[in-house]
DNA sequence: TTATCGTACTACGTCTGTCGTAGTACTTAT
DNA sequence: ATAAGTACTACGACAGACGTAGTACGATAA
C-alpha cells in the first residue's frame, strides 16, 4: 500500500486533476481515485474533505450545491483559474521530485 | 524548488541510500544531497538531524563517533540490516507511488 | 589580535496535512 | 425492520518538517 507520507503533497494534485475533468464531489472523487489506481490508493474521507476546504480557501476550487432531489445534498466543486495554475505548478514539481528521488533509489 | 510535502516520506530513503554507500554524517550527507540533485533539493538541517534520531530509534542506523582530532566531533551513522530492509521497502513503495501519481498528471 | 567563514551539530517550539473516531442524514434492497 | 450504500461534518491527535537560536571548534584574512 501507499503510505500517507509518500503521497502527501500530491493529494491536492490528484483532486485538482479530477475536478479539472468535470465538476465533482467527495464520494465520486474518492471512488475515482480508488478505481483509477486499481485500489492502490484509497484516500481517507477526512483527508479528502479537509483538502476540499483548504483548496476552496486557497481559491483553487469553488463549491456549489447539486440539485439532486433524493439522497443527501451533495457539495460539488469546480476548478478555478487559480486551481488550474496550481495544478500545472504541482505537475512541474512532480517532474522535478521524480528526478530527485530516482537518484536515490536502488 | 521542491516542496517539503512533495519529498516528505522519501527523506528517510534518501538518507538511507547515502549511508548504504558508506557510513556518513550530517554535514556530508546534506552536501551530497545538494550536489547529486544539482541544487534541486537542499535538505534542512533540522529535518536531517531529526531524521537521524528517528532512524536510529527505529533501528535503521547506528551512530558512532569519528576519530578526527580537529574540528567538532562528528557523529557518523552506519546502516543496519533493518535499515537495508526498510530502504528496499521504501523503494518498492516509491515505484508504486510513481505509478499512482502519474495517472493524475497532465 | 580579532573577526569571519565554514564545519558540525543540539534544543525548542510551531505548523500543516493526515488520520482515527464518531456522528448525522437520507435511500434502496433484503 | 435492518443493513448497506451514499454523502458528508466535527473534533482532536500525531508526526514530520521547519524557523529560530545557540553551542563549539578550526582556519584564514584583515
Are the Cβ atoms of A93 and B3 closer than 8 angstroms? Answer: yes
The pLDDT, as a whole number, for residue A62 is 98
B46 Cβ contacts chain D strand, under 7 Å: yes
The pLDDT, as a whole number, for residue B69 is 67
What is the total count of domains within chain A? 1
- Taking CB atoms within 8 Å and a gap of at least 24, the contacts of A52-56 are A52/A15, A52/A26, A52/A77, A54/A12, A55/A12, A55/A15, A55/A16, A55/A83
For the stretch A31-75, pLDDT in tens is: 999 999 999 999 999 999 999 999 999 999 999 998 776 777 899
Residue of A1, A4, A6, A12 for testing the chain B interface, max B β-carbons within 10 Å = A6
Q: Give the domain CATH number at A22.
A: 1.10.10.10
pTM, rounded to two decimals = 0.93
Task: Check: CB of residue B40 under 8 Å from CB of residue A100.
Answer: yes
The pLDDT, as a whole number, for residue A14 is 98
Indicate the pLDDT class of residue B6, thresholds 50, 70 and 90. Answer: confident
Q: Which residues of A fall within a CB distance of 8 Å from B47?
A: none
Q: Which residues contact B51 (CB under 8 A, 6 or more apart)?
A: B11, B12, B15
Give residue B61's domain range: 4-102
CA distances from A46 to B18, B71, B89 (A): 36, 49, 27
Q: How many CB atoms lie within 10 A of CB B102?
A: 10
Put residue B51 in one of left, alpha, beta given phi > 0 → left and psi -120 to 50 → alpha.
Answer: alpha
pLDDT at B93 over 70: yes
Q: Which residue is nearest to nucleotide C25 (CA to C1')?
A: A72
CA distances from B63 to A77, B19, B50, B75 (A): 50, 11, 13, 6
Please compute the mean of the pLDDT values over residues B18-22 and round it to a whole number: 98
Q: What is the DSSP secondary structure assignment for residue B73, as one 8-state letter?
A: P
The pLDDT, as a whole number, for residue B18 is 98
Specify the range with the lowest mean pLDDT, choosing from A76-85, B34-43, B65-74.
B65-74
Residue found under cell 516542496: B3
CA distances from A87 to A73, B59, B102, B106 (A): 28, 38, 13, 9
Indicate the pLDDT class of residue B22, thresholds 50, 70 and 90. Answer: very high
Average model confidence (pLDDT) for chain B?
A: 94
Please compute the mean of the pLDDT values over residues B76-84 and round it to a whole number: 98
Residue found under cell 483553487: A60
Percent of chain B with pLDDT over 70: 97
Amino acid at each position: 500500500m501507499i503510505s500517507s507520507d509518500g503521497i502527501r503533497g500530491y493529494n491536492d494534485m490528484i483532486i485538482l486533476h479530477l475536478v479539472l475533468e468535470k465538476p465533482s464531489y467527495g464520494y465520486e472523487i474518492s471512488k475515482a481515485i480508488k478505481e483509477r489506481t486499481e485500489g492502490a490508493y484509497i484516500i481517507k474521507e477526512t483527508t479528502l474533505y479537509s483538502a476540499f476546504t483548504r483548496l476552496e480557501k486557497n481559491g483553487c476550487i469553488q463549491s456549489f450545491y447539486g440539485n439532486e432531489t433524493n439522497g443527501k445534498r451533495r457539495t460539488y466543486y469546480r476548478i478555478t483559474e487559480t486551481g488550474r495554475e496550481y495544478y500545472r505548478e504541482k505537475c512541474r514539481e512532480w517532474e522535478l521530485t521524480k528526478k530527485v528521488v530516482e537518484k536515490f533509489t536502488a
